[in-house]
Amino acid sequence: MKIRIPILNLLTDTNATYLTDDYPAGSSSIGVQNIYGFDINQILFIGNIGNENSEIIKTSSSTAPASGTITLNSATTQPHSSSDSVRVILYDQVEISTSLTLTGAKTVLTTINLDVSDETTYDDTTTTTGYYFIRYKNSINTTYSTYSDGIPVSDYPINSARYLIDSAIAEINKKPSSIFSDDFGFKQINNGQMEVLRELKRWSWMQKFNQAIGTASVGTWKMAMPTDIDDPNTNRSIYNVKVGDSGNLIWVDKEQWNNLTQQVNYSTLKNDLNPGDASVVLVSSDDFPSSGSFFIGKDTLEYTANDKSTNTLTLSAVSTLTYSAGQDVFTGATFGTPNYYTVFGGYIWTWPITDSNHDGMNFVADYYSTLIPITSDTQTIIVPDPILIKDYLVWKFLVRMNNGNDDEGSTAAHDNFQRRLQKLKQTEVMNRRIRLTPRYNDYSAMMGMDGDSKFVRTQGFWPNNF
């Protein structure tokens, strides 16, 4: 496989200046317009990317730049012209490693010098499986950049970010450049997917069925919403919720939930409860009676006093239990099989409170997931039509090339995107059965509802009080 490593990003936001004279090959120093930001033991890029007379060279290890002159560590190998750019770059080599997995141990395949063309290439004929990882190397002080995303040896799948960006750039017959940066490409892939998601309230490929989202615990009544759910604060993204082998829970709004739980006083442990403790400190004890008993987990504890100024309950006997801070604490609670649920504050709240029969059972939910932003080459899009997103990228790349304005080419790309989007909407299947119930199932009864039953039947003017 031929591996291509771009160097354009190494020349961005660097210290730069210009040559003041022409210099033949073999020059050991160069005159520049200014020496600000230049020092010993630096790597310089003289010239421009793709120019055959450009070169990468190091500054002297002992003689600092002075009076507009930079002393080099070795003689130049190429002639350079007045006004050629001189830029500091952090690295002069590239290290190529392989790994069988994205997170596995890496083995260095080779280390090569950077090329002055727009990309450094290496042809690997030995590796057949796994991933390549690239990082830049500074040969002066042996420092490295971070590793690149894993590059599949067998090439990127057609729905991956890298494949889509490369396909869009190839379609407009351009090479990678600052105009088509990865960061811009990732953002436009995300924008394209969001444009698609806005077209319908719900898409079938955003559904997740039978997802275990957590484990029920006796004496608790809430479960954190899935981290990838579209709306974590309401039930709008939820189909169903159940606990273990029980049936689907019935959703109630917050007002109904308050009615169900109006006799319950609730708080959580502020500090850990350990054997030998004579008191319990809650986040708030304001709603708890001055004495009595409370539920914590599967246990019931008696207390003799409630100091609301410190939220401390004095136990009737020292604790023999161990509970961690954050554990639910109740008075007036009802335990049983959870039948109802509501959603607020990023949690699913169930009622009754989970009893011991459901302790350790899974919370299972059907819900709509949110869009996970694309930030790396190997991530794949959620939209099931890669060409749709590729067309969106082509449109955005062409608009950017044209200083933010549409032209004939970008308009055509946008039209392609819209056509495929409409087709995707037409073929969308929600994986849910909708049953239509006729308004009248008894034909004879229908006939008797109106004197002109034929007119009613043919025109569809049905009485509204049936």
255-265 burial code (b ≥16 CB/10 A, e <16): eebeebbeebb
Of 113, 55, 115, 59, the closest CA to residue 85 belongs to 55
Q: Under 8 Å CB-to-CB from 434, ≥6 apart: which residues?
A: none
Look at residue 127 and tell me whether its pLDDT is greater than 50. yes
Q: What does the alpha-carbon distance between residue 119 and residue 95 come to, in Å, rounded to a whole number? A: 14
Please determine, for residue 465, whether its predicted confidence score (pLDDT) is greater than 60.
Answer: no
Is residue 366 classed as helix, strand or coil in its secondary structure? strand
Res 430: pLDDT: 57
- How large is the angle between the packed helices 182-197 and 161-171, nearest 10 degrees? 100
CA dist 253 and 250 (Å) reads 10
Band (181; pLDDT cuts 50, 70, 90): confident
pLDDT of residue 292: 96
pLDDT band for position 177 (cuts 50, 70, 90) = low
All structural domains of the chain with their residue ranges: 1-155, 156-205+371-433, 206-368, 436-466
Half-sphere exposure of 24 (CA within 13 A, CB side): 1
What's the pLDDT at 13? 81
Span 210-243, pLDDT tens digits: 999 999 999 999 999 999 999 999 999 999 999 9
Task: Please provide the average confidence, as pLDDT, over all residues in the chain.
Answer: 90
Helix (H/G/I), strand (E/B), else coil: 151:
strand
Residue 452: pLDDT band by 50, 70, 90 thresholds?
A: very low
Mean pLDDT, range 432-453, rounded to an integer: 48
* Residue 175 confidence (pLDDT): 67
Strands of 311-419 (E only): list them: 312-315, 328-331, 335-336, 340-344, 347-351, 353-354, 362-368
The C-alpha angle with vertex 404 and arms to 403 and 405, in degrees rounded to 5, equals 95
Tens of pLDDT along 32-58?
999 999 999 999 999 988 888 999 999
What pLDDT score does 138 carry? 97
Segment 351-407, tens digit of pLDDT: 999 999 999 999 999 999 999 999 989 899 999 999 999 999 999 999 999 999 999
Q: What is the per-residue pLDDT across 242-295, written as a single tens digit (0 to 9) for each?
A: 998 889 999 999 999 999 999 999 999 999 999 999 999 999 999 999 999 999
The Cα 393–Cα 165 span in angstroms is 7
Beta strands 340-344; 250-251: pairing state: parallel
Residue 180 predicted with pLDDT over 80: no
- At residue 142, the pLDDT reads 96
pLDDT at position 381:
96
CA distance 34 to 86: 10
How confident is residue 318, by pLDDT bands cut at 50, 70 and 90? very high
Contact between 374 and 189 (Cβ < 8 Å)? yes
Mean pLDDT, rounded, for 201-206: 88
How much is the pLDDT for 117? 85
pLDDT at 353: 95
Q: What is the pLDDT of residue 466?
A: 36
